[in-house]
Structure 1
Amino acid sequence: MSQPTLHITTFNIHKGFSQFNRRMMVHELRERLRHLNPDIVFLQEVQGLHLHHAERHHDWPETTQHEFLAEDVWQATAYGRNMLYDHGHHGNAILSRFPILHAHNQDVTHLQFERRGLLHCRIELPEGPPAHCVCVHLSLFGYSRRKQVTALADYLNRMDEPTAPLIIAGDFNDWGNRAGKLLEKSLGMNEVFSHLERTPVRSFPAAMPMFRLDRIYVRGFAVQRTEVHHGQPWSKISDHAALSAHLARHGD
């Protein structure tokens, strides 16, 4: 078997706070991500700006959360602002060791009180063609999720690159796996945990996962190893578990 060539992680970071917002955990989060040491990180609920938190916490990062997390490790970053309010904003982010050639945040809001976006990056890899990477955080409502996945498939299909390497990761809020099946059918993707369990892995809540909310879908890669990062210390950092996958190019 060939050696892993790409290590990716997805994590809903709960805006840098522990479950129920009891403690700010962005510094511990940075330490754990560095310990995992993935090549590409897909992050949801990233706080781009929050003036009230900055006033209340003396150690609140001076930069945006994604820049603070990436500093000196992940040379390229992209941030998609989704939810805007009078004291700040939050959204999705991608951190990468490799150059980000293009970044675009596609608005897929269906319900105005629940603004959502799909952060798409085209990332240069050490070998072979660039990979399309999409960080998602889908609606809490099934009908909206299906519309958002359809919009994502339409957006990617318009690029007319049906064999291009593709990774879609994030918080799908899709415990019934209906939205995921649309991705598999429309884009020819595979969920990285499903080859073992036949269904996506449980990832929420992080202390004792019961619900299958977070996903990693791939096309053009062979899955070599997967991990669910739950329990201590992860459950102190966020209410979601982090997921990792070690991937190799098909044919490597």
Structure 2
Amino acid sequence: MTGSSSTLRVATYNIHKGVQGIGPARRLEIHNLGHAIEQLDADIVCLQEVRKMNRQAAARFSQWPELPQADFLAPEGYTAVYETNAVTRHGEHGNALLTRWPVLRQGHHDISDHRFEQRGLLHVVIDINDRPVHAIVVHLGLIKGSRVRQIVRLREFIEREISPDEAVIVAGDFNDWGARMRVAMNAMGLRDVHGTRTLTYPSRLPVAQLDFIYGRHIEPVECSAPRGPIWSRMSDHLPLVTDFLL
């Protein structure tokens, strides 16, 4: 645990499938991302746009990892959990979670709003000091109406699957310009550190916070996003890090 036995550090990071750039200038960043994730020193790392496999990228990049990206990125001693959201012509990708705490169980729930965007919830139950903590990794749609409907489905999932007295973390890329989903999240008892925006997108010159970390029955106390040339080159998003009191 980070800091003390009562502190939990959670990070969320859209890794853009481990590749940056366009056309011939595309470059492989997955190795740098591995070092970066280790530097975050988070107890739980929630990842979006994670490739399980991709035949085209593996053929293009000579240093493409043999392992699925979630397993490749997991620091030593962490457990990697992955679930597919989208199956494409060349492979598949989805959400992942890395944790230094034992995993009790995992599941996936489809929240796709239309056939052009395949989206899902990755639900992982983690044992933290003999207390179950539910972590849900999300990557919401690009259309506002889709996000609204997906938040409703998230609420229904939590109400159906998780006891009201158990701790919940919801983290990921909300594609939420202006934090418009915060009211709906707060209505579910989920809170983040707010008052000032923690800008995460685009990574080279952040102007918006698209990534959020919310908690229920745990108190968010501090939120940050590392910045600088190294972070700006690895993905189009910056990682977001929140420290919670259990």
TM-score range, shorter chain: over 0.9
How many Å separate the matches in 2 of 1:36 and 1:176? Answer: 26
Counterpart position of 1:100: 103
Quote the offset at 1:85 in angstroms: 1.3
Structure 2 residue 66 is the aligned partner of structure 1 residue 66: no
Quote the offset at 1:208 in angstroms: 1.5
Quote the offset at 1:180 in angstroms: 2.6
Q: Deviations over 1:127-165 (max 9, x none)?
A: 5x2111000000000111011010010011013511211
Equivalent pairs, count: 241
Q: Which residue of 114, 117, 120 maps to 2:123?
A: 120
Moved over 6 A (4+): none
Alignment partner of 1:158: what SS?
helix
Counterpart position of 1:138: 140
**Structure 1 residue runs without a partner (length 5+):** none
Counterpart position of 2:35: 31
Alignment partner of 2:36: what SS?
helix
Q: What TM-score results when the alignment is normalised by the length of structure 2?
A: 0.93
- In structure 2, the CA distance between the partners of 1:115 and 1:163, relative to structure 1 (3 Å rule), is same
Q: Which residue of 223, 238, 246 maps to 1:226?
A: 223
Q: Which residue of 75, 87, 91 maps to 2:90?
A: 87
Structure 2 residue 177 is the aligned partner of structure 1 residue 168: no
Alignment partner of 1:189: what SS?
coil
How many Å separate the matches in 2 of 1:149 and 1:79? Answer: 21
- In structure 2, the CA distance between the partners of 1:173 and 1:28, relative to structure 1 (3 Å rule), is same
| Cα pair 2:138 2:174 within 8 Å, conserved | yes
Structure 2 residue 208 is the aligned partner of structure 1 residue 207: no
| Cα pair 2:178 2:208 within 8 Å, conserved | no
Q: What TM-score results when the alignment is normalised by the length of structure 1?
A: 0.91
Quote the offset at 1:100 in angstroms: 1.3
% same residue: 37
| Cα pair 1:183 1:189 within 8 Å, conserved | yes
How many Å separate the matches in 2 of 1:15 and 1:230? Answer: 20
How many Å separate the matches in 1 of 2:105 and 2:54? Answer: 27
Counterpart position of 2:233: 236
Q: RMSD of aligned C-alpha atoms? A: 1.6
Counterpart position of 2:114: 111
| Cα pair 2:198 2:224 within 8 Å, conserved | no
| Cα pair 1:204 1:240 within 8 Å, conserved | yes
How many Å separate the matches in 2 of 1:87 and 1:138? Answer: 23
Counterpart position of 2:159: 157
- The residue type equivalent to 1:191 in the other structure is D
Structure 1 window deviating more from structure 2 (172-181 vs 141-150): it is 172-181
Structure 2 residue 54 is the aligned partner of structure 1 residue 57: no
Alignment partner of 2:70: what SS?
helix
Quote the offset at 1:71 in angstroms: 5.0
- In structure 2, the CA distance between the partners of 1:14 and 1:160, relative to structure 1 (3 Å rule), is closer
How many Å separate the matches in 2 of 1:73 and 1:24? Answer: 25
| Cα pair 2:48 2:173 within 8 Å, conserved | yes
Alignment partner of 1:216: what SS?
strand
